[in-house]
Structure 1
Amino acid sequence: MRYFAAFLLLLAFGFALPACAQNPKKTTTQKVKIKKIPKKTVAAKAPVTAKSEAAPVLTFERTPCFGTCPAYTMQLFADGRVAYEGRRGVPMLGTKELKLPASAVADLLRQAKEARFEQFQDRYSQNTTDLPSTIIAVRQPNGQLKTVVLEEGAPENVRQLFTYISNQLDTLAKLSTAVPSADR
């Protein structure tokens, strides 16, 4: 009996709903009074921050593997700030704020530009299942991030840049060894 009553109620509601939707006089809306803001308030300026300071200029990430590979992420800012997150297999776990000289960040970006990072493929992989990835993203002059994922099978110039950046940042992350292997 309960199911039959529920069915009748649903059926009645189903017929009433289209009727309400077709007749706008039956629906009620509230008018909201909009208060005008004086122009002086709108013209107030927020503190000026450079777009380049707000966004990372380089992001570096090592992904985990089935073994004990170090897994961490670093976001480098032009002024030398480094947002670090150690996930697994690293001496510093969790999030930390690290610091590099701004000149070191500029050097990493210069190395990427000289290697023609913007022309690298998006991914270098030969589909081996247990390899960690090293991911580098560099902010381009147009503001977009160019991201490259390296597992294996990259040309020599790509491996050299990844090794250089890895060595610099592995030292900052206090890893005892810098590891991209030579067969990548």
Structure 2
Amino acid sequence: MPHIPMRYFTLLLLLSFFGLNLQACAQQTAVQKTKKASKKAGPVKKPAPTEAGPVITFERTPCFGTCPSYTALVYADGRVAYEGRRFVSMEGKKDLKLPAATVADLLRQAKESRFETFENSYSSGVTDVPSTIVAIRQPDGIFKKVTVEGNAPENVRELFAYFGTQFDALAKPDGTRK
């Protein structure tokens, strides 16, 4: 093994030490700059409900026959992201609009029906029936999802029928609503 003079060895150690410390200092400086920039920008705002996502989702699933199949994602401001799949007058993805008052009414109806207490699924056990799926964002931000394939109590059937009427009318190609 060749002999390395002590001064070169010391120099190598010092360079290694300072090189590592320079990297750490550079990283620390970058973090400090980021913190200062975020303080100047002000507090981070929580997204508004319309930015956070839909407040209601409504879906009709297909059956072995000609059952309409579509999905509607409803935002608090009335925007609706609609996708018609089968046996509907409007197929494909469409951006539709409901009056914000209608969205508020749908949410009010769900609250009055005590939607949060509904079971997650009501099924008749028959495989050929379509499902209707409603999910509503709860005050804690979590969606409560209920699937109905039959055998649901009257209050559940009534609420789902009301929702269905609103969304079936919305999906008409001429935009007419009852």
TM-score of the superposed pair, with normalisation by structure 2: 0.75
Q: Which has the higher helix share?
A: 2
Q: For residue 50 of structure 1, what is the amino acid of its counterpart?
A: P
- For residues 138-179 of structure 1, what are the alpha-carbon distances to aligned partners after superposition, in whole Å with 9 as ceiling and x for unaligned? 11111110000000000100000000010011000118xxxx
Counterparts of residues 27-46 of structure 1 (less than 5 Å): 34=27, 36-37=30-31, 38=33, 39-43=35-39, 44-45=41-42
Decide which structure has the larger Cα Rg and report it: 2
Map 1:31-180 onto structure 2 (within 5 A): 34=27, 36-37=30-31, 38=33, 39-43=35-39, 44-45=41-42, 48=45, 50-53=47-50, 54-174=52-172
Q: Paired residue for 2:15? A: none
Q: Aligned partners of 1:121 and 1:51: how far apart in 2?
A: 29
Note the aligned Cα RMSD (angstroms): 1.9
Deviation at 1:79? 0.5
How many Å separate the matches in 2 of 1:46 and 1:65? 50
Structure 2 gap ranges (5+): 1-19, 174-178
Q: Give the deviation of 1:55 after TM superposition.
A: 1.4
Q: Give the aligned residue type for 1:114.
A: E
Counterparts of 1:59 and 1:72 in 2: how far apart (Å)? 11
SS at 1:36's partner residue?
Answer: helix
Aligned residues: 145
Consecutive unaligned residues in structure 1, runs of 5 or more: 1-30, 176-184
For residues 130 and 47 of structure 2, the distance between their equivalents in structure 1, rounded to whole angstroms, comes to 35
**Equivalents in 1 of 2:62, 2:110: separation in Å?**
24
